[in-house]
Chains A and B, each alone.
Chain A
């Protein structure tokens, strides 16, 4: 099963939840950090990185001998990555998402596929199982293509039957995805291939507002969803009421405590440092699994 841990806004405790789940999971669990702008999981899980590779994006390479400056490519490009200025053809690689249109459109065959690095992909091992992380280059805007490549790596390494392109019949490890916060395009991308979504929120007005945005956004994917209320006890009842009204189950409540915040600030895994919270995460895991099982049965029926 693949679970995405997401949140309407950052700083609600997504990392606390995902690292604690990893610590209590029975059997190996694959951890995937798709928060490629700000990957943080490695700071807590301290993986042994076995391989680090460049994530490349296919961009055009220009052959000025063949180019007759007709401008077809520049006219076509929706991103202004290509421009003809005077007798020069200009290419702005950082604006190109690699759609391949210009390669196909050039009547002279003057553009051929080349590559450019948009980030790095780390693969390794934590004490809980396999580990994957994408890290976008600073100042880069191409998150989704990098995330796609990290996902492909997870599939290739684990022959994960449930991911697109996986091998039928292979029983893979469970996967926990750390999704970027928010409800933007990258966040949607990260949860797209999950079987269920765990939404972490705080019981405050800010928490509720962002939580609602996330519920609305992710609902269109028709996946099982549940809430984790972190820092339970601060703030107000808004989140609880909203969950009741909209039928979002609350899978766990993590009490507000200084000890949790301090453990996190030291880079420790909360469930391990504070064994009294173990039960909460065990229960959370049980509900996550049950939600997927039920939704699969419904689908089959």
Chain B
């Protein structure tokens, strides 16, 4: 099975708009939104939720006020500054709690409970191009590598059951834990970047990460005309480092107009952007699984 993950390093490069367009162009694909922090893909693909599941992950400490004798041992031991004292009363700041269980274990009164965290919801849905797996974390919930892993697992399971040949994932930005989970098991990472200092900088970081995980990297430079010199430099960087340069896309306000209408850019009447994107998609699909698109 082919598994493509779209990533970007920095946000705002147009990754999600391009992923949505690929979802439109793809045949027999399972689409999976792994950008659990800012899941935007559903706004363009308008999935109808068929299944809704709770996502629980990890534990957090909660002080039982009745049993608490206000000895302060928990506050003393917590390395994360998560135990707050307010007028002699102790409470856990769940934003800071890392779920390490130290306070639970060492409380002399066993007054700290260790409860499972309900962190969000995940969905199996159907949209106009096919099935889709996506999720929503509750605000302020920790970016979760495990949720990303769970979504991928569900996507693979269902894709297999449906006899689909492609999983197309909108990956997480950044280079931390969730993006690593996004990449796990993928056979191609498509990096959408832009010709800005941040775009270039983050491309290199994210490409290093892919190399680390031995995943081939293919690069799309979006809004290339903002800075043609930088764009050419990115292309040269790709060639030097063994990444595929898939193509360049222009700065096109048509993309925003499509977004406002909740459409994929390729669904709109012929735009340069849409046409170039079709060419890029052909290149991606022409490559052998696990190798770089030529």
Contacts and interface: CB of A to CB of B under 8 A. Distances in A.
Partners in one complex: yes
Interface of A: 8-12, 15, 37-38, 40, 43-44, 58, 76, 78-79, 97-101, 104-105, 136, 138-141, 143-144, 148, 180-186, 188-189, 192, 204-206, 209-210, 213, 216-217, 220, 234-236, 258, 261-262, 264-267
Interface string B3-20: 000001111110010000
Given A38-B175, A38-B201, 7 more contacts: A37-B175, A181-B11, A189-B96, A234-B253, A261-B226, A261-B251, A267-B197
A276 B195 CA distance: 25
B180 A11 contact: no
19 contacts: A8-B38, A9-B12, A10-B10, A10-B38, A10-B173, A37-B174, A38-B202, A98-B79, A105-B105, A139-B180, A139-B212, A144-B80, A181-B11, A182-B37, A184-B141, A185-B142, A206-B40, A261-B251, A265-B196
B69 interface: no
Contacts of A98: 79
A180 B202 CA distance: 13
A181 B198 CA distance: 14
Nearest to A12: B12
B143 interface: yes
B102 interface: yes
Interface of B: 8-13, 16, 37-38, 40, 43, 58-59, 77, 79-81, 95-96, 98-102, 105-106, 137, 139-143, 145, 173-177, 180, 194-198, 201-202, 205, 208-209, 212, 223, 226-227, 230, 251, 253, 256, 259-260, 262
A145 B40 CA distance: 29
B260 A236 contact: yes
A206 B41 CA distance: 9
B92 to A, nearest CB: 14
Contacts of B106: 104
A210 B197 contact: no
Contacts of B59: 78
A-B interface, 8 closest residue pairs, ranked by CB to CB distance from nearest:
A11-B12, A10-B11, A99-B100, A217-B139, A184-B143, A141-B177, A265-B227, A11-B11
